[in-house]
Structure 1
Amino acid sequence: MTAEHLADPVALMNGVPFLDDGFHHRRLLAGVAAVRHAEAVHAGHHAGRRAEAWLWPSAVHLLRSSAPMPAAPLTPSRQAEVKRQLAAASALIPTWEPLLKLPIRYARLTPSRGAISASSRDWPQHVLLADAAFTSDAELREQILHETAHQWLYLMQELWRLDDTDAPPVTLPSGTTNRSPAEALGAAHVAAVLIRLYRACGDIPAGRTAERVAHLTAYGAGCLDRAQHLTPAGARIAERIAEHLT
């Protein structure tokens, strides 16, 4: 394997998660586990753990020094709702099943401050869901998929930097300010993933599938337009996402 191949995440991983059915998810997880294990050894946290142990949310938080995310436990009934929607999404697109089995800690987003769901690179494999995420099965399924797509791109960012260190912040088409180009790239990725979801599940309420897909396509393209100052690895991922937005 050449150095050029290693520098190209799309070639090495055979695509982008959720968009390319041949994506090598096990290869990515192995790489992330190795990096985290090395980080843990350096920080003195390894305590005899095997490398793959660092793929669990309960372990990986030991490697991060960020302040805790604003979260509270989900009730057992809501945990069960999350599991049902994970299964529903896997049934719609079976090749997503291993991606949706990524170990994730789901918690309640509180206070929500208007957000429906949230996640952060600083807290890998943690997804926060506001009460509004549970208003319908379709809403919950979309929010879970949205945040899980972010989680997989966060994993890729543990192996490749996607934007330049001195890249200026950007404003997303939604009006959200002060986002990095990598975050704009992540927003475009989510848009492309949700397009696959809605094309697979057919009409959403009031027959608005075509309208929703058109909105997501325009939004994803707008995010890519703002995802400037990318590294070569980030640019390759942007190119692949753009192919799925056409």
Structure 2
Amino acid sequence: MIYFVGAGPGAPDLITVRGKKAIETADIIIYAGSLVNPALLEDAKGTCKCYNSAGMTLEEVISVMTAPGNLNKSIVRLHTGDPCLYGAIREQMDLLDQYGLGYEVIPGVSSFIGAAAALKTEYTLPEVSQTVILTRMEGRTPVPEKEDIAKLAAHGATMVIFLTTTMLGELSRRLIQGGYAPDSPAAIVYKATWPDELVVRTTVAELEQAADANGIRKMALITVGGFLGQDYERSKLYDPGFTHEFREAVR
């Protein structure tokens, strides 16, 4: 069996119990060495063979999975965060389907969740935002025209922007073009949950300057929106004047 495992956002104790068991019993691990915390490999058994996919092509990864000598082995494909977000797993699964090989996906804690924990905040606040947009700027991988950052910014929702740390000047321009005021709150979260985690609070207009001032070049998420401010309404769920199926309102 081949397991696509979400490694979590960075801290080795934030992998799921199921993901940890898959690593402990794996005969082969193919891990994203540029992003996955190497401490996770310490749980692998001594006979496990590990491959760093940072220098591998898709075809080379698949060739390890499909090698005749590996067909009866337990193989873990270890991806950062949760593999459903920017994990490039669909293309791997489609090729495995062609080979008739079985696989399973073991979810992980995404870095955008780790970032919220680092910020000690909530992405969805009453009367502020009830929608979270997870997106990225186009780089070598294009983005559909209808998903341009400026168009998404027009919603005024909470935004979490991946894979964009090297394009922050252009990101600021497009966010402002889409409707965010230059002084709208923003935050840069570098290596969420890692020992060297860093949170930089700034504004939409100052994203690039804030990153430069803190030496942040990669492995950071950009968060934007009113959820970073101080104003919001209390939830009705715990409002003493609100009745629901488990509690009568206090009169």
Instruction: Give TM-score scaled by structure 2 length.
Output: 0.27
Instruction: Give TM-score scaled by structure 1 length.
Output: 0.27
Specify which structure has the higher proportion of strand. Answer: 2
Specify which structure has the higher proportion of helix. Answer: 1
Q: Greater CA radius of gyration, 1 or 2?
A: 2
